[in-house]
Amino acid sequence: MQNNDRSAATNFPDWHGTTILAVRKDGKTVIAGDGQVSMGATVVKGSAKKVRRLAGGKVIAGFAGATADAFTLLERLESKLEQYPDQLARACVDLAKDWRTDRYLRRLEAMLLVADKDNIYTVTGVGDVLEPDLGVAAIGSGGSYALAAARALLDGDLDAEALARKAMGIAADICVYTNGSLTVETL
């Protein structure tokens, strides 16, 4: 059974297992992603790398959703970043426009969390390019747990990377689709 309604909350097959968290604190930006991929109640892989560096290391991107779709979007984002160097917002908006209007891209089932040294954006296939108010954003199955944990820890003494690792650990303790095998990239 396939769901073709793009407005449905769960538009993906029965694949779960991504938590991506971005934290910006004290001049540092971190994106952390867990490594778990599950199909139903089965863990298919525990060490997937869902966080990548782009634009010669100036941009970090994490993805949730179908891997092939996410790689297609990351390639498109990379080309937008080449077209608009050092203009992450413009590249993300241009990608979101293409994603929403292109017949092929419109069918891709993924989300991106993208950051440079100054900004964090959530980019979706419905045309959203969202910048968080507090410098913390998350996507994926355990995203709401990681986001809540990170926001609760934001006023503490932890630096951006330690905060992201702690919040991801909390999410992994709560969400059965999230594990503690992290990929962490810092700018």
Residue 7 predicted with pLDDT over 50: no
Residue 10 predicted with pLDDT over 80: no
Residue 9 predicted with pLDDT over 50: no
Give the pLDDT confidence of 94-123 residue by residue, as tens digits: 999 998 888 888 788 889 999 999 999 999
Residue 162 lies in a domain: yes
Residue 108 lies in a domain: yes
Average pLDDT (69-98) is 95
pLDDT of residue 16: 56
Residue 35 lies in a domain: yes
Domain count, the chain: 1
159: domain CATH number is: 3.60.20.10
Give the pLDDT confidence of 51-67 residue by residue, as tens digits: 999 999 999 999 998 88
Residue 185 lies in a domain: no
Average pLDDT (137-155) is 96
Residue 145 predicted with pLDDT over 50: yes
| Catalytic choice (18, 19, 122, 178) | 18
Residue 185 predicted with pLDDT over 50: yes
Average pLDDT (12-19) is 62
Annotated catalytic residue 29: no
Residue 112 lies in a domain: yes
Residue 116 lies in a domain: yes
Main-chain phi, psi angles of 171, to 5 degrees: -60, -40
Higher pLDDT among residues 102 and 129, named by residue: 129
Residue 172 lies in a domain: yes
- The residue segments making up the domain with residue 107 are 15-176
The terminus-to-terminus CA distance of the chain in angstroms comes to: 42
CA 126 to chain centre: 15
CB atoms within 10 A of CB 103: 6
Residue 86 lies in a domain: yes
